[in-house]
Structures are given as structure tokens and as C-alpha cells.
Amino acid sequence: MPELSSALVTGATGFLGGHLCGQLLERGVAVRAGVRRERPSTAALARAGAELVPAPLDDLQALARAAHGVEVVFHVAALASYVAPWPRIEAANVTGTRNVLAAARRAGARRLVFVSSESVTLRNADRVEEDEDAPYPRRFLDNYSRSKALAEQEVLAAGGAGLETVAVRPPWIWGEGDTSVLKAIALAILGNSFLWLGDGSNRITTCHAANVARGLVLAALSPRAPGRVYHLADAVRPTLRDFIGGLCEAASLPLPRRRVPYSLAYALAAACDLLRSLGVKAPLMISRPYLIHLGRTWTFRDRRARQELGYEPVVSLEEGFGRLAAWIEQSGGLRPALGR
């Protein structure tokens, strides 16, 4: 399998983008780190050897300049929100992806690797050992899932005429450097507002950020990847209770104990989603996709990535929890690590 010479990473200052840039730099790839604004991670990327370039998703000219001469474009940047209004989500995730595709083609890139999401098949039902051939739902429950599905379809349809395209669907991305999902969980636990939907025995699919980055690199290298969609996953599918328990232990947080029936919580979330769709502020920051991920089983097969890309997780759950604990300690504790 050939090596990469150069790459542009959109969303390079984000959690996954930072891990991906780190792995590319370790492989000797000339990395252009696409940034939208100055963040604490910007200086770290520059020190690591990345070239910082402006790459706002709404500026096709800037994107084309950022992609000029690179071999592969990794499109990682996205607005990840289940409650943001459609115009914002569409602009970032659909129109933004369209602009990145156009820029990659204009710049002469060989391949574009798109970070999609398992949410493209999200529905209020268990998804057990689902593979990449599972259909999109007839009606999407939220704007984020809809936007990722639309963007994924555009990416795959754009392949050809000199530009190869690949879509990768990570599940729950976690690990050291996460100041988003871990922060939300920590704040809920510290605020005594975290509730189990049932007993937490539902199985989920996770993928440490280092494993996702590894899969993205392989998707950029493999001759079998163009036109394909890939799930990535950690080696095991933990129960939600076991995974949250591991996060709590790593972060020195108490394990939540309170429960609420899934049906009741889902009804409340549906009401909040309805209010948002009408332009009314919802009284609770909950949404149906959040509850589905906390209360349903969602496990995915990564067999295709293993067989076609040679993908293997490089970080186990146990090692990942250890790395997370070490990062929190090195940051001076949980609050400094999470930025508050």
C-alpha cells in the first residue's frame, strides 16, 4: 500500500482533526491544517509541523487555495448538533461539503475522504450488527442525521473524473482531547441530571479517536476504497453502563444511579424537538437522537473496513481509559482539561 505525500485536513483544530493530523505527521505526511479561527490547539499543530491554512467551509476560494497541490483531502469539519436549526446545519454540513468537493477537484487532489456518521441510519429502534448496506430512514429524526446523509450521498456521487471519494462512518468517538461529549456527560453527572434510560445494558459502538484516525488514513491509501462506505469500531461493543463507568473512573466521577423509563424520556424529547421545529425554545436541552443513543442498542460491523482496508483498532478500551485518565491528570484535573 503506497504512502501519502501531502494532505489537507479540514476541521484540524477539532478533537478528531487533531488526532488525524498527529498520525499523518508521524507518517511523514506534509499536513495542511485547515482552520477557521484561532484556538488553543492551533499553536500545538504548528509546533508539531503542520502548515496552518485558512479553510472556512463557506469560502470556496480559500478552500481551493488550501487544497492546492495536496494529494488527499480529509473532510473532517462539521457542525455536530442534534438541536441546531436546519439552515445552520445545511450551510455547514451540506453546502460546506459541496464546497470542499469543488475545491478538491479544482485543486487536483487525488482522493477525498469524508467523515460521515453512523447517525445517517438513526431511527427509534435497535440497530444490531448493522452493516454499511443498511438503508437510510424514510424520514430523518433530526437535522444533523439528515445533513450527513445528504452530504454522504453527494460525496459518493462526486467520485470520478480524476477525484476518488470515500465515506467513513465513525460511531461514538472518544478519547483524550475530547472536550465535547465528555464535557456534556461530566456536567450532567456533576449537576445530578444524568439519568439512565433503563438499566444501561444496551450495547453501543465506540471508536477511540486514534482508531478513527487510523481508519481514515487507511481509507486514503487503499486502492479498494474509492466509492465505498466504511464503519469503524473499537474491538468490543460495550454496554452503555460499562462504557460510562469506564469514563467515570478515568475522570474520577461518581457513577450515576438514577433511572427514568425510556418511553417517558422519549416523549419529552419528541415534544422538545417539536417546539424547536416551530421556532420555540424548548425547556429542556434533550432531543430524540440523544435518547436513542443512550437507551437503544446500536452496534455496527466493521468487517468491510477490516477486509478491504486492513483496519484493526490500535487502542483498546482499557488503554483508551488509561490514556484519558493520564490526559486529565496532565491537564491539572477534569475542569481544566474540559476548558472550564
Active-site residue, selected from the candidate residues 82, 144, 230, 262: 144
Q: Higher model confidence: residue 77 or residue 2?
A: 77
Where do we find the cell 478491504? Answer: 308
The predicted structure's pLDDT at residue 161? 84
Indicate whether 328 pLDDT > 70: yes
The answer to whether the CB of 132 falls within 8 A of the CB of 304 is: yes
Alpha helices (runs of H) in 191-297, residue ranges in sequence order: 209-221, 240-251, 262-277, 288-295
- DSSP H or E stretch at residue 106: helix 96-107
pLDDT (tens digit per residue) in 111-124 = 999 999 999 999 99
Q: Higher model confidence: residue 8 or residue 184?
A: 8
| Average pLDDT for the chain | 95
Q: Is 326 part of a structural domain of the chain?
A: no
pLDDT (tens digit per residue) in 231-279 = 999 999 999 999 999 999 999 999 999 999 999 999 999 999 999 999 9
Mean pLDDT of 17-32: 97
Distance, in Å, from the CA atom of 48 to the CA atom of 40, rounded to the nearest integer, reads 14
Q: Is 82 a catalytic residue?
A: no
Q: Is 281 part of a structural domain of the chain?
A: no
Q: Is 91 part of a structural domain of the chain?
A: yes
Residue type at 7?
Answer: A
CA-CA-CA-CA torsion for 121, 123, 125, 129, nearest 10 degrees?
A: 10
- DSSP H or E stretch at residue 198: none
| Grid coordinates belonging to 196 | 439512565
For CA atoms 209, 77, 63, 168, the dihedral sign is positive
Share of the chain above pLDDT 90, in %: 91
Q: Is 246 part of a structural domain of the chain?
A: no
Indicate whether 7 pLDDT > 70: yes
Q: Is 266 part of a structural domain of the chain?
A: no
Q: Is 258 part of a structural domain of the chain?
A: no
pLDDT band, residue 2 (cuts 50/70/90): low
- DSSP H or E stretch at residue 98: helix 96-107
Burial class (CB in 10 A: 0-12, 13-18, 19+), 12: buried
Q: Is 248 part of a structural domain of the chain?
A: no
Terminal CA-CA length for the chain: 43
Distance, in Å, from the CA atom of 49 to the CA atom of 70, rounded to the nearest integer, reads 16
Within 13 Å, how many C-alpha atoms sit on residue 114's CB side? 33
pLDDT (tens digit per residue) in 186-232 = 999 999 999 999 899 999 999 999 999 999 999 999 999 999 999 99
Indicate whether 1 pLDDT > 60: no
98: CATH:
3.40.50.720
The predicted structure's pLDDT at residue 194? 93
Q: Model-level pTM greater than 0.75?
A: yes
| Grid coordinates belonging to 147 | 445533513
Domain count, the chain: 1
Enclosing domain of residue 304: 6-179+206-235+299-316
Residues 6+ apart with CB under 8 A from 264: none
Q: Per 3-state DSSP, what percentage of the chain is helix, strand, and coil (rounded to 5)?
A: 45, 15, 40
Where do we find the cell 483524550? Answer: 176
Q: Is 173 part of a structural domain of the chain?
A: yes
The predicted structure's pLDDT at residue 339? 83
